[in-house]
Chain A
Protein backbone atom coordinates (compact mmCIF):
# COMPACT_ATOMS: atom_id res chain seq x y z
CA UNK A 1 0.00 0.00 0.00
CA UNK A 2 1.36 3.37 -0.95
CA UNK A 3 2.14 5.64 1.97
CA UNK A 4 -0.38 8.44 2.48
CA UNK A 5 0.29 11.75 0.81
CA UNK A 6 0.86 14.99 2.64
CA UNK A 7 -2.60 16.12 1.48
CA UNK A 8 -4.19 13.04 3.07
CA UNK A 9 -2.29 13.50 6.33
CA UNK A 10 -3.13 17.21 6.36
CA UNK A 11 -6.81 16.39 5.87
CA UNK A 12 -6.66 13.98 8.82
CA UNK A 13 -5.07 16.65 10.97
CA UNK A 14 -7.70 19.19 9.93
CA UNK A 15 -10.48 16.74 10.78
CA UNK A 16 -9.06 16.25 14.28
CA UNK A 17 -8.84 20.00 14.43
CA UNK A 18 -7.77 22.11 17.33
CA UNK A 19 -8.65 21.94 20.98
CA UNK A 20 -8.22 24.48 23.70
CA UNK A 21 -8.28 22.26 26.79
CA UNK A 22 -5.15 20.21 26.49
CA UNK A 23 -1.79 21.46 27.67
CA UNK A 24 -0.03 18.40 26.32
CA UNK A 25 0.14 16.55 23.02
CA UNK A 26 -2.57 14.02 22.39
CA UNK A 27 -0.94 10.64 22.91
CA UNK A 28 -3.39 9.13 20.43
CA UNK A 29 -2.75 11.13 17.28
CA UNK A 30 -3.19 8.88 14.22
CA UNK A 31 -1.65 11.30 11.68
CA UNK A 32 1.61 10.49 13.52
CA UNK A 33 1.53 6.88 12.41
CA UNK A 34 4.04 5.62 14.97
CA UNK A 35 1.66 6.65 17.75
CA UNK A 36 -1.03 4.18 16.65
CA UNK A 37 0.26 1.22 18.64
CA UNK A 38 2.31 3.15 21.16
CA UNK A 39 -0.26 5.14 23.12
CA UNK A 40 -2.11 3.83 26.16
CA UNK A 41 -5.72 2.98 25.39
CA UNK A 42 -6.73 3.38 29.03
CA UNK A 43 -6.97 6.69 30.85
CA UNK A 44 -4.06 7.63 33.06
CA UNK A 45 -4.75 6.71 36.68
CA UNK A 46 -4.75 9.59 39.13
CA UNK A 47 -2.47 9.09 42.09
CA UNK A 48 -1.13 11.22 44.92
CA UNK A 49 2.62 11.46 44.45
CA UNK A 50 4.62 9.84 47.22
CA UNK A 51 7.96 10.96 48.64
CA UNK A 52 9.88 9.27 45.84
CA UNK A 53 7.97 11.16 43.18
CA UNK A 54 8.11 14.45 45.08
CA UNK A 55 11.90 14.30 44.91
CA UNK A 56 14.27 13.74 42.03
CA UNK A 57 17.84 13.15 40.95
CA UNK A 58 20.50 15.71 41.73
CA UNK A 59 23.18 16.60 39.22
CA UNK A 60 26.32 18.62 39.80
CA UNK A 61 29.64 19.86 38.54
CA UNK A 62 31.06 16.35 38.47
CA UNK A 63 28.37 15.34 35.98
CA UNK A 64 28.73 18.07 33.37
CA UNK A 65 31.74 19.80 31.87
CA UNK A 66 31.03 23.49 31.15
CA UNK A 67 32.41 22.93 27.64
CA UNK A 68 29.55 20.50 26.96
CA UNK A 69 27.27 23.52 26.43
CA UNK A 70 29.12 24.53 23.26
CA UNK A 71 28.26 22.11 20.46
CA UNK A 72 30.54 23.93 18.03
CA UNK A 73 33.82 23.06 19.77
CA UNK A 74 33.56 19.29 20.08
CA UNK A 75 35.87 18.71 17.11
CA UNK A 76 38.98 20.23 15.61
CA UNK A 77 37.24 22.38 13.04
CA UNK A 78 34.22 24.64 12.95
CA UNK A 79 30.94 23.03 11.96
CA UNK A 80 29.19 24.25 8.83
CA UNK A 81 26.08 26.32 9.36
CA UNK A 82 24.56 29.26 11.09
CA UNK A 83 26.05 29.62 14.58
CA UNK A 84 23.37 30.36 17.17
CA UNK A 85 22.97 30.87 20.88
CA UNK A 86 19.95 29.27 22.56
CA UNK A 87 19.32 30.54 26.07
CA UNK A 88 16.48 30.78 28.51
CA UNK A 89 15.29 29.84 31.97
CA UNK A 90 13.81 26.71 33.46
CA UNK A 91 10.99 27.49 35.89
CA UNK A 92 8.59 25.46 37.97
CA UNK A 93 4.82 25.88 37.99
CA UNK A 94 5.08 28.72 40.50
CA UNK A 95 7.58 30.54 38.35
CA UNK A 96 10.47 29.73 40.64
CA UNK A 97 13.82 29.02 38.97
CA UNK A 98 14.92 25.42 38.75
CA UNK A 99 18.56 25.82 39.80
CA UNK A 100 21.49 23.50 39.22
CA UNK A 101 19.52 21.02 37.15
CA UNK A 102 20.48 19.08 34.08
CA UNK A 103 19.52 20.18 30.57
CA UNK A 104 20.42 17.93 27.63
CA UNK A 105 19.96 18.69 23.94
CA UNK A 106 20.43 16.84 20.67
CA UNK A 107 19.80 17.84 17.10
CA UNK A 108 20.50 17.40 13.40
CA UNK A 109 23.29 19.31 11.70
CA UNK A 110 22.80 22.28 9.38
CA UNK A 111 21.96 19.96 6.49
CA UNK A 112 19.25 18.16 8.48
CA UNK A 113 21.27 15.01 9.15
CA UNK A 114 21.63 13.28 12.50
CA UNK A 115 24.85 11.48 13.25
CA UNK A 116 22.67 8.55 14.37
CA UNK A 117 23.18 5.37 12.32
CA UNK A 118 19.50 5.01 11.64
CA UNK A 119 19.33 8.36 9.89
CA UNK A 120 19.59 7.53 6.19
CA UNK A 121 18.73 11.01 4.90
CA UNK A 122 21.14 11.56 1.96
CA UNK A 123 22.43 14.84 3.32
CA UNK A 124 26.05 15.32 4.33
CA UNK A 125 27.36 14.48 7.76
CA UNK A 126 29.55 17.18 9.24
CA UNK A 127 32.80 15.81 10.67
CA UNK A 128 32.91 18.80 12.98
CA UNK A 129 29.45 18.41 14.44
CA UNK A 130 28.03 15.73 16.71
CA UNK A 131 24.92 17.57 17.84
CA UNK A 132 24.71 16.73 21.55
CA UNK A 133 25.10 19.10 24.49
CA UNK A 134 24.57 19.31 28.23
CA UNK A 135 24.57 22.00 30.86
CA UNK A 136 23.42 22.72 34.40
CA UNK A 137 21.03 25.58 35.04
CA UNK A 138 22.35 28.54 37.03
CA UNK A 139 20.93 29.81 40.33
CA UNK A 140 18.31 31.76 38.37
CA UNK A 141 17.34 28.70 36.31
CA UNK A 142 19.19 29.95 33.26
CA UNK A 143 20.78 27.76 30.63
CA UNK A 144 22.77 28.65 27.53
CA UNK A 145 23.97 26.61 24.56
CA UNK A 146 26.04 27.57 21.52
CA UNK A 147 25.25 25.45 18.50
CA UNK A 148 24.41 25.42 14.80
CA UNK A 149 20.92 26.01 13.51
CA UNK A 150 19.60 22.57 12.55
CA UNK A 151 18.11 21.93 9.14
CA UNK A 152 14.70 20.40 8.46
CA UNK A 153 14.74 16.77 7.38
CA UNK A 154 12.53 14.22 5.66
CA UNK A 155 11.00 11.26 7.47
CA UNK A 156 8.80 8.38 6.47
CA UNK A 157 5.53 9.08 8.22
CA UNK A 158 3.97 9.74 4.82
CA UNK A 159 5.00 10.78 1.33
CA UNK A 160 7.04 13.97 1.30
CA UNK A 161 6.99 14.26 5.08
CA UNK A 162 9.39 16.83 6.52
CA UNK A 163 10.07 17.73 10.12
CA UNK A 164 10.41 21.43 10.87
CA UNK A 165 13.86 22.33 12.20
CA UNK A 166 14.02 21.56 15.92
CA UNK A 167 16.29 20.90 18.86
CA UNK A 168 15.41 18.07 21.27
CA UNK A 169 15.45 19.20 24.92
CA UNK A 170 15.56 16.95 27.98
CA UNK A 171 14.83 18.71 31.29
CA UNK A 172 14.63 17.79 34.96
CA UNK A 173 12.83 19.60 37.75
CA UNK A 174 13.29 19.14 41.45
CA UNK A 175 10.61 16.42 41.43
CA UNK A 176 10.54 13.29 39.36
CA UNK A 177 7.05 14.19 38.13
CA UNK A 178 8.43 17.32 36.44
CA UNK A 179 10.52 15.29 34.01
CA UNK A 180 10.13 16.65 30.48
CA UNK A 181 11.44 15.75 27.05
CA UNK A 182 10.31 18.02 24.27
CA UNK A 183 11.41 19.81 21.10
CA UNK A 184 12.19 23.48 20.56
CA UNK A 185 11.26 25.02 17.22
CA UNK A 186 12.27 28.19 15.40
CA UNK A 187 9.97 31.13 14.64
CA UNK A 188 8.12 31.25 11.34
CA UNK A 189 8.91 27.71 10.22
CA UNK A 190 6.71 27.01 7.17
CA UNK A 191 6.87 23.25 7.80
CA UNK A 192 5.07 23.29 11.15
CA UNK A 193 1.56 23.18 9.74
CA UNK A 194 2.42 20.02 7.80
CA UNK A 195 3.95 18.24 10.79
CA UNK A 196 1.86 15.72 12.77
CA UNK A 197 4.26 15.76 15.72
CA UNK A 198 3.87 19.51 16.10
CA UNK A 199 0.13 19.36 15.51
CA UNK A 200 -0.39 16.61 18.08
CA UNK A 201 -0.49 19.60 20.44
CA UNK A 202 -3.94 20.57 19.30
CA UNK A 203 -4.12 23.93 21.06
CA UNK A 204 -2.10 26.30 18.85
CA UNK A 205 -1.43 28.62 21.78
CA UNK A 206 0.13 25.72 23.69
CA UNK A 207 2.16 24.54 20.71
CA UNK A 208 3.46 28.09 20.35
CA UNK A 209 5.21 27.66 23.71
CA UNK A 210 7.68 25.40 21.93
CA UNK A 211 8.79 28.14 19.57
CA UNK A 212 11.88 30.11 20.57
CA UNK A 213 11.87 33.81 19.83
CA UNK A 214 14.64 35.67 18.12
CA UNK A 215 16.33 37.90 20.70
CA UNK A 216 18.67 40.53 19.40
CA UNK A 217 20.04 41.05 22.91
CA UNK A 218 21.29 37.47 22.85
CA UNK A 219 22.84 37.94 19.44
CA UNK A 220 26.58 38.42 19.66
CA UNK A 221 28.27 40.85 17.25
CA UNK A 222 30.34 39.18 14.54
CA UNK A 223 29.61 35.79 16.11
CA UNK A 224 26.14 34.26 16.54
CA UNK A 225 22.43 35.03 16.40
CA UNK A 226 20.40 34.49 19.55
CA UNK A 227 17.19 32.63 20.35
CA UNK A 228 15.44 32.72 23.69
CA UNK A 229 13.28 29.90 24.96
CA UNK A 230 11.93 29.57 28.50
CA UNK A 231 10.51 26.38 29.91
CA UNK A 232 7.87 25.88 32.60
CA UNK A 233 7.96 22.40 34.06
CA UNK A 234 4.56 21.03 34.92
CA UNK A 235 3.69 19.50 38.20
CA UNK A 236 0.61 21.05 39.72
CA UNK A 237 1.99 19.75 43.00
CA UNK A 238 2.71 23.27 44.19
CA UNK A 239 -0.54 23.00 46.13
CA UNK A 240 1.04 20.53 48.54
Chain B
Protein backbone atom coordinates (compact mmCIF):
# COMPACT_ATOMS: atom_id res chain seq x y z
CA UNK B 1 0.00 0.00 0.00
CA UNK B 2 1.32 3.41 -0.89
CA UNK B 3 1.52 5.66 2.12
CA UNK B 4 0.16 9.11 1.42
CA UNK B 5 2.79 11.09 3.28
CA UNK B 6 1.99 14.71 3.88
CA UNK B 7 4.56 16.80 2.02
CA UNK B 8 6.57 19.54 3.69
CA UNK B 9 6.66 23.22 2.81
CA UNK B 10 9.07 25.98 3.68
CA UNK B 11 8.90 27.48 7.16
CA UNK B 12 8.69 30.84 5.36
CA UNK B 13 9.89 34.20 6.68
CA UNK B 14 7.32 34.83 9.40
CA UNK B 15 7.95 32.12 12.02
CA UNK B 16 9.77 34.49 14.37
CA UNK B 17 6.71 35.30 16.46
CA UNK B 18 5.49 31.69 16.49
CA UNK B 19 8.27 29.15 16.91
CA UNK B 20 10.79 30.61 19.37
CA UNK B 21 9.80 30.88 23.02
CA UNK B 22 11.47 31.67 26.31
CA UNK B 23 14.59 29.52 26.76
CA UNK B 24 13.75 27.46 23.68
CA UNK B 25 17.50 27.15 23.01
CA UNK B 26 18.50 26.30 26.60
CA UNK B 27 18.36 22.54 27.08
CA UNK B 28 20.13 23.24 30.36
CA UNK B 29 20.55 26.59 32.12
CA UNK B 30 23.84 28.30 31.28
CA UNK B 31 25.09 27.81 34.86
CA UNK B 32 24.41 24.07 34.87
CA UNK B 33 27.47 21.91 35.66
CA UNK B 34 28.60 20.50 32.35
CA UNK B 35 26.74 23.12 30.34
CA UNK B 36 28.31 23.85 26.99
CA UNK B 37 27.57 26.34 24.30
CA UNK B 38 26.79 24.82 20.90
CA UNK B 39 26.94 27.57 18.34
CA UNK B 40 27.67 28.42 14.74
CA UNK B 41 26.47 30.08 11.57
CA UNK B 42 24.06 28.97 8.87
CA UNK B 43 25.28 29.89 5.38
CA UNK B 44 23.85 29.71 1.88
CA UNK B 45 25.46 28.79 -1.45
CA UNK B 46 27.10 32.22 -1.70
CA UNK B 47 28.59 31.88 1.75
CA UNK B 48 26.16 34.52 2.98
CA UNK B 49 24.69 34.12 6.46
CA UNK B 50 21.07 32.97 6.62
CA UNK B 51 19.26 35.20 9.12
CA UNK B 52 15.92 33.41 8.87
CA UNK B 53 16.72 29.80 9.73
CA UNK B 54 15.58 27.61 12.61
CA UNK B 55 17.59 24.73 14.04
CA UNK B 56 16.14 22.06 16.26
CA UNK B 57 18.26 19.55 18.14
CA UNK B 58 17.44 16.29 19.90
CA UNK B 59 19.99 14.38 21.92
CA UNK B 60 20.82 12.04 24.75
CA UNK B 61 22.05 13.34 28.08
CA UNK B 62 25.70 13.18 29.12
CA UNK B 63 25.26 9.55 30.16
CA UNK B 64 23.75 8.50 26.86
CA UNK B 65 20.18 8.27 28.15
CA UNK B 66 17.40 9.40 25.82
CA UNK B 67 15.00 11.64 27.74
CA UNK B 68 11.29 10.90 27.87
CA UNK B 69 10.27 13.93 29.89
CA UNK B 70 7.93 16.76 28.86
CA UNK B 71 8.73 20.35 29.68
CA UNK B 72 10.70 21.60 26.69
CA UNK B 73 8.26 24.49 26.17
CA UNK B 74 8.07 25.35 29.84
CA UNK B 75 11.47 24.55 31.25
CA UNK B 76 11.86 24.04 34.99
CA UNK B 77 15.64 24.41 34.87
CA UNK B 78 16.25 20.88 36.21
CA UNK B 79 14.62 18.37 33.88
CA UNK B 80 16.68 17.48 30.85
CA UNK B 81 14.23 17.09 27.96
CA UNK B 82 16.85 16.68 25.24
CA UNK B 83 15.16 18.98 22.76
CA UNK B 84 15.69 22.61 21.83
CA UNK B 85 15.03 25.17 19.15
CA UNK B 86 17.16 28.15 18.10
CA UNK B 87 16.60 30.76 15.42
CA UNK B 88 19.49 32.43 13.66
CA UNK B 89 20.05 36.13 14.31
CA UNK B 90 20.69 38.90 11.78
CA UNK B 91 24.19 37.56 11.23
CA UNK B 92 23.08 33.97 10.68
CA UNK B 93 24.30 32.83 14.07
CA UNK B 94 22.56 30.42 16.42
CA UNK B 95 23.33 29.30 19.97
CA UNK B 96 22.19 26.42 22.15
CA UNK B 97 23.10 25.76 25.75
CA UNK B 98 23.22 22.03 26.31
CA UNK B 99 25.44 19.17 27.48
CA UNK B 100 27.71 17.02 25.40
CA UNK B 101 25.75 13.88 24.57
CA UNK B 102 26.84 10.47 25.75
CA UNK B 103 26.74 7.46 23.46
CA UNK B 104 23.43 5.60 23.29
CA UNK B 105 25.26 2.64 21.79
CA UNK B 106 28.77 1.90 23.09
CA UNK B 107 29.88 0.85 19.62
CA UNK B 108 28.84 4.09 17.90
CA UNK B 109 30.10 7.63 18.47
CA UNK B 110 27.55 9.95 20.05
CA UNK B 111 25.90 12.72 18.06
CA UNK B 112 23.25 15.39 18.29
CA UNK B 113 20.40 15.00 15.78
CA UNK B 114 19.55 18.22 13.93
CA UNK B 115 16.65 19.45 11.80
CA UNK B 116 17.20 22.60 9.73
CA UNK B 117 14.45 24.89 8.48
CA UNK B 118 14.74 28.20 6.62
CA UNK B 119 12.97 30.59 4.36
CA UNK B 120 13.89 29.45 0.86
CA UNK B 121 14.37 25.86 2.01
CA UNK B 122 11.33 23.98 0.76
CA UNK B 123 11.53 21.09 3.22
CA UNK B 124 13.46 20.44 6.41
CA UNK B 125 16.92 18.92 6.26
CA UNK B 126 18.38 16.47 8.75
CA UNK B 127 21.98 16.25 9.78
CA UNK B 128 24.09 15.13 12.76
CA UNK B 129 26.60 16.95 14.93
CA UNK B 130 29.37 14.65 16.13
CA UNK B 131 31.46 16.09 18.96
CA UNK B 132 35.14 15.72 18.11
CA UNK B 133 36.93 12.97 20.02
CA UNK B 134 38.19 14.22 23.39
CA UNK B 135 41.89 14.87 23.76
CA UNK B 136 43.68 11.74 24.87
CA UNK B 137 41.16 9.34 23.32
CA UNK B 138 41.38 7.40 20.12
CA UNK B 139 41.05 10.10 17.51
CA UNK B 140 40.43 7.53 14.80
CA UNK B 141 37.44 5.97 16.50
CA UNK B 142 34.77 8.03 14.69
CA UNK B 143 36.25 7.20 11.31
CA UNK B 144 35.79 3.54 12.18
CA UNK B 145 32.06 4.08 12.48
CA UNK B 146 30.48 2.43 9.44
CA UNK B 147 28.39 5.45 8.50
CA UNK B 148 31.18 7.98 8.96
CA UNK B 149 33.65 5.68 7.22
CA UNK B 150 31.32 5.52 4.22
CA UNK B 151 31.71 9.25 3.65
CA UNK B 152 34.60 10.74 1.70
CA UNK B 153 36.90 12.52 4.19
CA UNK B 154 36.22 15.94 2.67
CA UNK B 155 32.52 15.47 3.35
CA UNK B 156 32.83 13.58 6.66
CA UNK B 157 34.39 16.55 8.39
CA UNK B 158 31.23 18.62 7.84
CA UNK B 159 29.52 16.47 10.49
CA UNK B 160 32.15 17.09 13.17
CA UNK B 161 31.84 19.99 15.55
CA UNK B 162 34.85 22.06 16.47
CA UNK B 163 35.77 22.98 20.02
CA UNK B 164 36.21 26.40 21.52
CA UNK B 165 36.52 27.69 25.07
CA UNK B 166 32.73 27.46 25.60
CA UNK B 167 31.95 24.14 23.99
CA UNK B 168 31.18 23.11 20.46
CA UNK B 169 31.02 25.01 17.18
CA UNK B 170 29.13 23.78 14.15
CA UNK B 171 28.31 25.65 10.95
CA UNK B 172 25.55 24.58 8.60
CA UNK B 173 26.32 25.15 4.92
CA UNK B 174 23.19 24.69 2.84
CA UNK B 175 24.93 24.58 -0.54
CA UNK B 176 28.24 24.56 -2.36
CA UNK B 177 31.76 24.68 -0.94
CA UNK B 178 31.81 22.75 2.33
CA UNK B 179 28.15 21.79 1.97
CA UNK B 180 26.98 19.98 5.09
CA UNK B 181 26.09 16.32 4.68
CA UNK B 182 22.30 16.10 4.87
CA UNK B 183 20.64 12.80 5.56
CA UNK B 184 17.88 10.62 4.22
CA UNK B 185 17.06 8.04 6.83
CA UNK B 186 16.77 4.54 5.44
CA UNK B 187 13.42 4.03 3.74
CA UNK B 188 12.81 7.66 4.44
CA UNK B 189 10.95 9.87 2.05
CA UNK B 190 13.19 12.57 0.65
CA UNK B 191 13.05 15.60 -1.53
CA UNK B 192 15.04 15.61 -4.75
CA UNK B 193 15.23 12.07 -5.95
CA UNK B 194 16.45 9.02 -4.12
CA UNK B 195 19.22 9.04 -1.57
CA UNK B 196 22.47 8.94 -3.44
CA UNK B 197 26.16 8.57 -2.89
CA UNK B 198 27.95 11.22 -0.91
Enumerate chain A interface residues (CB-CB to B < 8 A).
22-29, 32, 34-53, 55-64, 93, 102, 104-106, 108, 114-119, 130-132, 134, 168, 170, 176-177, 179-183, 197, 200-201, 206-207, 209-210, 231-237, 239
- Residues on A with beta carbons closer than 8 Å to the beta carbon of B8: 24-25, 180-182
Bound Cα distance A50, B58 (Å): 12
B91 within 8 A of A: no
- Residues on A with beta carbons closer than 8 Å to the beta carbon of B22: none
B23 within 8 A of A: no
Q: Are A58 and B70 in contact (CB under 8 A)?
A: yes
Bound Cα distance A26, B115 (Å): 17
15 A-B pairs within 8 Å (CB atoms) are namely A24-B7, A24-B191, A37-B48, A38-B118, A40-B179, A42-B179, A43-B197, A44-B192, A45-B181, A53-B58, A57-B83, A61-B70, A118-B14, A180-B8, A180-B124
Q: Mark B170-198, 1 if CB is under 8 A from A, else 0.
A: 00001110011111111111111111111
Q: Are B18 and A132 in contact (CB under 8 A)?
A: yes
Q: Are A47 and B184 in contact (CB under 8 A)?
A: yes
Q: Are B184 and A93 in contact (CB under 8 A)?
A: no
- Residues on A with beta carbons closer than 8 Å to the beta carbon of B81: 57-58
The chain B residue sitting closest to A119, CB to CB, is: B14
Ranked nearest first, the 9 interchain pairs of A and B with the lowest CB-CB distance are A60-B70, A43-B196, A34-B120, A236-B187, A106-B18, A46-B195, A57-B83, A38-B120, A63-B73
Number of A-B contacts (CB under 8 A): 276
- Residues on B with beta carbons closer than 8 Å to the beta carbon of A22: 191-193
Interface of B is mostly: loop
Enumerate chain B interface residues (CB-CB to A < 8 A).
3-19, 44-46, 48, 50, 56, 58-60, 66-74, 81-83, 101, 104-105, 108, 111-113, 115, 117-126, 147, 151, 155, 174-176, 179-198
Query: Of the candidates B6, B67, B113, B186, which one forms a contact with A233 in the assembled complex, judged by CB atoms under 8 Å apart?
Result: B6
- Residues on A with beta carbons closer than 8 Å to the beta carbon of B104: 50-52
Q: Are A26 and B122 in contact (CB under 8 A)?
A: yes
- Residues on B with beta carbons closer than 8 Å to the beta carbon of A39: 120-122, 174-175, 192
B119 to chain A, nearest CB (A): 6
Query: Of the candidates B4, B44, B70, B190, which one forms a contact with A59 in the assembled complex, judged by CB atoms under 8 Å apart?
Result: B70
- Residues on A with beta carbons closer than 8 Å to the beta carbon of B105: 50-51
Q: Which of A52, A170, A234 has the largest count of B CB atoms less than 10 A from its CB?
A: A52
Q: Are A43 and B189 in contact (CB under 8 A)?
A: no
Bound Cα distance A182, B155 (Å): 29
Q: Are A44 and B7 in contact (CB under 8 A)?
A: no
Bound Cα distance A52, B189 (Å): 18
- Residues on B with beta carbons closer than 8 Å to the beta carbon of A43: 192-198
- Residues on A with beta carbons closer than 8 Å to the beta carbon of B192: 22, 26-28, 39, 43-44
A62 to chain B, nearest CB (A): 5
The chain B residue sitting closest to A34, CB to CB, is: B120
Known: A45-B182, A45-B198, A132-B17. A234 touches B191 (CB 8 A): no
- Residues on A with beta carbons closer than 8 Å to the beta carbon of B117: 181
Q: Are A35 and B7 in contact (CB under 8 A)?
A: no
